């Protein structure tokens, strides 16, 4: 089953949810601000998708990212450090985060959703 980590007030999350609904893709929704994925889940994902880089998982345009000056830290960050930050602050996570055990996407681009979730 696909798990959709989103944020109701995020237009990108809403667009992605609408797209999944229109294409009749079944998923469960989890609010990533109130209930972000665990550190262990992030360690697993960051390890499995190392080719995408740590930055792929971060909301680099977000206020929390800028406030913590992560732009200067992200390139030297370990997987463990990144997993800790992401699991403690859902607003640092690029949204939506969609996973199913075999595939994972962060953010919403229609072509990527088409190729990944259909």
Average pLDDT over residues 45-70: 96
pLDDT in the model for residue 4:
98
Q: Classify the phi-psi angles of 24: left when phi > 0, otherwise alpha if psi is within -120 to 50, otherwise beta.
A: left
Average pLDDT over residues 23-47: 97
Average pLDDT over residues 42-51: 97
List, in order, residues 6 or more apart from 8 with CB less than 8 Å away. 14, 31
Provide the whole-model pTM.
0.94
pLDDT in the model for residue 64:
96
Q: 94 by DSSP, 3-state: which?
A: coil
Residue 54: burial class (beta carbons within 10 Å; 0-12, 13-18, 19+): buried
Instruction: Write out the two tokens for 28.
Output: 């469960």
Please give the Cα distance from 62 to 100 (Å, whole number): 25
Instruction: Write out the two tokens for 56.
Output: 């792929």
List, in order, residues 6 or more apart from 117 with CB less than 8 Å away. 2, 20, 23, 25, 98, 103, 105
């Amino acid at each position: 089953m696909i798990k959709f980590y989103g944020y109701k007030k995020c237009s990108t999350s809403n667009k992605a949810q609408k797209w999944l609904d229109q294409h009749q893709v079944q998923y469960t929704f989890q609010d990533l601000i109130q209930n972000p994925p665990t550190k262990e889940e992030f360690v697993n994902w960051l390890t499995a998708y190392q080719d995408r880089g740590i930055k792929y998982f971060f909301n680099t345009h977000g206020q929390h990212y800028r406030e913590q000056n992560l732009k200067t830290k992200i390139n030297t960050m370990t997987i463990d450090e990144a997993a800790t930050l992401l699991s403690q602050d859902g607003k640092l996570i690029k949204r939506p985060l969609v996973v199913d055990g075999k595939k994972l996407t962060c953010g919403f681009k229609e072509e990527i959703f088409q190729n990944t979730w259909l």
